[in-house]
Structure 1
C-alpha cells in the first residue's frame, strides 16, 4: 500500500467516517470517501489520509460529472445517473449516488466480489441518506463542540 494513503481519523470533521469503515469490512475493499457534488470531502475511511481523500474527492466529482454528461448515450439526456465503475490493472473504483448532492466512492482489489460491494454500497447509501438529511441538532451540551456536543451542524 502506498504510504501516502495511510492516515488517522480526523475526529472533529469526519463524523461519518465510522460508517465508511463499517462498509469496508469485506475482503478486497481498500478505501472509501463521501463527497459533495462540487468535490468537497465530507467523510473518509480510516485507511486513507485526509489530504489524499480530499484530492480523490475532487477527482471523483469530475468523474461523476463526465459520466452524467453522457446520459444521452444511454437513451435520454435527463436520465438519472446512479453509478460508475472504473476498472484498472490493480482494481476497481465504485462511484455511487449517495443522496442529494452527495456521492460515495470505494476502491477495491481485482478479486473483490463486485456484487457484494454493490449491495453493501446501496445499504450504506440508505444509512448515509438518513444522516445527510437529518437537521442539525441544537447545542445542548453547553457549547461543547465536537462529537456528542450537538453543535456539529455540517459534515465537513
Structure 2
C-alpha cells in the first residue's frame, strides 16, 4: 500500500492559505504519514505524524474530564511560545494537523481545516490497519 497520497499532498496546501500557517500533514490514527504540504520534509512530516497520533490518542482518552464518556473528541489545540498546532478528525482513522505562527487567526485556520476535510471527504478516510488497537 502506498503510504503517501500525492493526490492529496497539493490539497493540503489549501489549508495554508490563511496568513501565518506553516505546515499541514494528514496522518492515520496509528501514526503513519498519509500526505504533507509543501515546505515540510518527508522525515519531519513522518516524525510529526507519529507524535501527533499520540497526541490525539491522549486527547481522546480525556473525554470524561469534559463530561460524559461518550463526548466525542473534535479538536486538539497546542500553544507554544512561537505558534500553535491544530489537530482535527479528518475521517475514520485519519487526522489533519496544521502548524501556525503565534499571530494567526485561529478561527480562520479551524474553518479552513474543516472546509478541507469536507471537500476531500472519503479521500481522507484511512482504514485502521489490521491488528491496531487505537
Does TM, scored on the shorter chain, surpass 0.5?
A: yes
Q: Is the 8 A contact 2:86 2:99 kept in 1?
A: yes
| C-alpha distance 82-25 of structure 1, shift in aligned 2 (>3 A) | same
Structure 1 residue runs of 4+, over 2 Å off? 12-15
The within-5 A match list for 1:4-83 is: 13-83=5-75
Q: Distance in 1 between matches of 2:107 and 2:124?
A: 25
Q: Distance in 2 between matches of 1:58 and 1:14?
A: 19
* Count of aligned residue pairs for this structure pair: 122
If the length of structure 2 is used for normalisation, what is the TM-score? 0.87
If the length of structure 1 is used for normalisation, what is the TM-score? 0.75
Bigger fraction of residues in strand? 2
Which of the two has higher C-alpha Rg?
Answer: 1
Q: Taking CA–CA contacts closer than 8 Å with sequence separation of 6 or more, which of the two structures ends up with the larger relative contact order?
A: 2
Q: CA deviation at 1:14?
A: 2.4
| Structure 2 residue ranges without an equivalent (≥5) | 126-134
SS at match of 2:38: coil
| Structure 1 residue ranges without an equivalent (≥5) | 1-11, 134-156
Q: Is the 8 A contact 2:90 2:124 kept in 1?
A: no
